[in-house]
Amino acid sequence: MKVLSIIPARGGSKAIPLKNLVRINRRPLLYYTVTASLRSKFVTRTIVSTDHPKIARVARSLGAEVVKRPKEIAGDTSPVELALEHVVNHLKETENYIPDIVMLLQNTSPLRNSKHIDEALKLMKRENYDSIISGFSTHIFIWKKSKKWIKPVNYDPLRRPNRQKLPEQFFENGAIFATKYKNFIKSHCRISGKIGFYRMPLEFSYNIDTLEDLNSLKKFFAA
């Protein structure tokens, strides 16, 4: 089975300049996702999609392949699916390479490791899912804003149940997305069809989007 792992790594992050190369525990952020992918028992190719030459050099030094991403699909509002399609089409046109599974590993999830990747892929194969996502499950009381007030989404405050009796909710953590190639080509989406859920522990579900997230992670490694 050919599993293509694609790691998007733009150079134009505004919240944290060159976020993908920021050093955490003396290693660039990119190191953690590339290493997790390369150490997987099932991932057969690891490709970093980037528009930045410095990121490309670091990715190659870590052992990943690199596909240069065009500037027109590397903007702040460019859907990540465009980067996935670009890599898939590039490999098909230049090598006639067609994977069985396309996996998206976002660089903002540095605590996801090869064990998580392999367990997700095994679950996907065992249950014959078309796609799989990672995340964590919980039982919490959810509210939403309605004009100036808030309203409950999943329970009635007048009949407040024990928290354990609430329906289980599933939260994406952004660490792992995988889908069959045929589904991706048809849907142009990172997940479609019969979608499975891979449970990751909450403590491994850390996601870096802001400078505060980054500083918290640095404290985690320093502890």
Provide the CATH number for the domain around residue 127: 3.90.550.10
First to last CA, the chain: 40
Q: Is residue 46 part of a domain?
A: yes
Residue 163: band (very low, low, confident or very high) from pLDDT cuts 50, 70, 90? confident
Kindly tell me if the per-residue pLDDT of 221 is higher than 80.
Answer: no
Q: Confirm whether 145 is domain-assigned.
A: no
How many domains does one find in the chain?
1
Residue 217: its pLDDT value, please?
82
Contact of 70 with 86, CB cutoff 8 Å:
yes
**Mean pLDDT lowest among 21-25, 157-161, 211-215:** 211-215
Distance CA 170, CA 59 (A): 32
pLDDT of residue 212 exceeding 90: no
Report the percent of the chain where pLDDT is more than 90.
76
**Choosing from 23, 57, 160, 163, which is the catalytic residue?**
160
The answer to whether residue 15 scores a pLDDT higher than 80 is: no
Q: Looking at the domain assignment, is residue 196 inside a domain?
A: yes
- The whole domain housing 206 covers 3-137+172-222
Q: What is the pLDDT of residue 158?
A: 93
In a domain, 21, yes or no: yes
pTM of the full structure: 0.92
pLDDT band at 223 (very low <50, low <70, confident <90, very high): low
43 within domain boundaries: yes
Is residue 160 flagged as an active site residue? yes
pLDDT at 85: 98
Is residue 156 domain-resident?
Answer: no
Whether residue 154 lies inside any domain: the answer is no
Question: pLDDT at residue 164 above 90?
Answer: no
Question: Residue 150 domain-assigned?
Answer: no
**Residue 10 predicted with pLDDT over 80:** yes
What residue has token string 């996502």? 133
pLDDT band at 93, cuts 50/70/90? very high
What pLDDT, on the 0 to 100 scale, is given for residue 117? 98
